[in-house]
């Protein structure tokens, strides 16, 4: 197969969904007893039939996570560079049709934001922009990476999907990780939520991790926006995507995120609600399916939830996040991409982690644990 899309097109959303909801307690017990779990086992672990087994799943998930990652959590922080975007996305505050003041940070403004992040203790930064090739393009990213590279041990980016040649240009400038979320694998709903802009091209977006793999990226992050469609089916396709990538681009590392739809200035209501208990089930299911993948939890989630989840499979956590360009110092009142839920400072999060017997790590896994 040339790309994941070739594999994806052999699957039916409706048939996959039906097979997940048809899983039985016997399927769940078989999955729990298996030393190496398959995609069919993953279906069972995310199915409604697995709900009564959550405590058992949590115990195994904790054991597997500590075995591979120890009792540490990587701390990271997003730095929003721009809210300019050419896409219409029904769930995003940066959507092209949302008539708000647009801003792209200058070099001086970036360094002001960097100084604030360094004061918080951060050594791992996630650079985020809207998708606008006119203002936030490869040359802009080169200048940004060159500017901040001396100040961070690990640089991740969440930007518009690009061609292999573009990623080839950025990696030498210090780019370590790219996050690219499919939002939903439901083709018709994807079109409904992305009616305009380059992001409306489902095939180009779903093949982005293939292009990253060909470019030799160190790590890539996957995920869907939970709430757009049936979360169990969407997350199965995420697991299918991860499984495909790990086999084809085995040199790269992988991370998963599971953002739940949060309020923003446009106000899209979730089509599907996911309870806290179901999110715990999903996190544990991912860990039981894959012992190596990094699992990240953001400030979208509540303080109480984040306090309780860190022992059950999470390996990285953000804190003190601002989701607007210049949000830390330069323009704290500018438009946020979405509302955060956990507003505690990085120091408060690090203290919470310590009280639970874990250690907050401010750099990348490789450099810290080598």
Place of tokens 């996630």: 126
| DSSP per-residue string spanning 3-21 | SHHHHHTT--HHHHHHHHH
**What does the pLDDT look like over 266-304, one tens digit per residue?**
556 778 889 999 999 999 999 999 999 999 999 989 999
Q: Of 93-102, 220-229, 251-260, 276-285, which range is least confident?
A: 93-102
27 Cβ contact list (under 8 Å, min separation 6): 40, 41, 43, 44, 47, 49
| Among 258, 174, 249, CA closest to 216 | 249
| Among 143, 156, 60, CA closest to 105 | 143
pLDDT of 267: 58
102-106's contacts with Cβ under 8 Å and 24+ in sequence apart are 103/325, 103/326, 103/331, 103/334, 104/129, 104/135, 104/136, 104/140, 104/325, 105/81, 105/325, 105/326, 105/330
Q: Percent of the chain, pLDDT > 70?
A: 94
Phi, psi of 302 (to 5 degrees): -70, 155
User: CB neighbours (10 Å) of residue 52?
Assistant: 10
pLDDT band at 368 (very low <50, low <70, confident <90, very high): very low
Helices (runs of H) and strands (runs of E) counted in the chain = 16, 9
Task: Check whether 158 has a pLDDT greater than 90.
Answer: yes
**What does the pLDDT look like over 126-154, one tens digit per residue?**
999 988 888 899 999 999 999 999 999 99
pLDDT band at 233 (very low <50, low <70, confident <90, very high): very high
3-state secondary structure of 177: strand
pLDDT of 333: 66
Helix-strand-coil percent breakdown of the chain, rounded to 5? 45, 15, 40
Cα dihedral: 100, 104, 106, 108 (round 10): 60
Q: What angle do CA 123, 183, 261 make, to 5 degrees?
A: 80
* Domain-wise residue ranges, the chain: 4-369
- For residues 296 and 328, give the distance between their C-alpha atoms in angstroms, rounded to a whole number: 22
Q: What is the mean pLDDT of the chain?
A: 92
3-state secondary structure of 32: helix
Report CA torsion sign: 86, 91, 97, 101.
Answer: negative
pLDDT of 366: 47
Q: Give domain 4-369's CATH architecture.
A: Alpha-Beta Barrel (3.20)
**DSSP H helices in the chain:** 4-8, 13-21, 25-33, 39-46, 54-69, 107-120, 138-148, 164-170, 187-193, 202-206, 208-215, 231-248, 276-289, 303-309, 346-355, 365-369
3-state secondary structure of 234: helix
**What does the pLDDT look like over 69-127, one tens digit per residue?**
999 999 999 999 998 888 887 887 777 677 778 889 999 999 999 999 999 999 999 99
pLDDT of 337: 54
């Amino acid at each position: 197969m040339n790309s994941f899309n070739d594999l994806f097109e052999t699957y039916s959303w409706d048939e996959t969904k039906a097979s997940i909801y048809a899983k039985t307690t016997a399927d769940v017990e078989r999955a729990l007893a298996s030393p190496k779990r398959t995609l069919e086992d993953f279906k069972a672990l995310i199915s409604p039939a697995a709900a009564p087994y959550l405590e058992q799943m949590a115990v195994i998930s904790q054991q597997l996570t500590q075995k591979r990652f120890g009792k540490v959590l990587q701390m990271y922080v997003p730095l929003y560079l721009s809210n300019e975007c050419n896409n219409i996305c029904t769930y995003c505050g940066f959507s092209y049709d949302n008539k708000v003041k647009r801003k792209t940070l200058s070099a001086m403004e970036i360094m002001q934001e960097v100084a604030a992040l360094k004061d918080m203790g951060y050594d791992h930064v996630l650079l985020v922009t809207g998708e606008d090739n006119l203002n936030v393009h490869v040359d802009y990213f080169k200048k940004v990476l060159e500017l901040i590279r001396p100040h961070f041990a690990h640089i991740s980016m969440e930007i518009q999907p690009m061609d292999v040649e573009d990623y080839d240009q950025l990696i030498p400038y210090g780019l370590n990780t790219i996050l690219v979320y499919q939002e939903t694998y439901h083709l018709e709903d994807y079109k409904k939520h992305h009616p305009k802009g380059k992001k409306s091209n489902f095939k180009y977006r779903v093949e982005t991790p293939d292009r990253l793999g060909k470019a030799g990226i160190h790590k890539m992050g996957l995920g869907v926006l939970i709430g757009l469609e049936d979360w169990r089916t969407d997350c199965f396709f995420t697991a299918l995507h991860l499984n495909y990538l790990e086999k084809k681009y085995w040199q790269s590392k992988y991370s998963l995120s599971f953002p739940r739809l949060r309020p923003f200035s446009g106000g899209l209501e979730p089509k599907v609600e996911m309870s806290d208990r179901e999110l715990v089930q999903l996190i544990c299911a991912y860990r039981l399916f894959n012992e190596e993948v990094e699992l990240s939890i953001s400030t979208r989630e509540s303080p109480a939830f984040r306090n309780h989840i860190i022992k059950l499979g999470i390996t990285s956590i953000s804190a003190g996040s601002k989701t607007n360009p210049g949000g830390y110092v330069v323009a704290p009142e500018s438009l946020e991409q979405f509302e955060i839920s956990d507003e505690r400072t990085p120091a408060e999060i690090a203290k919470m982690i310590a009280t639970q017997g874990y250690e907050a790590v401010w750099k990348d896994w490789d450099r810290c644990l080598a």
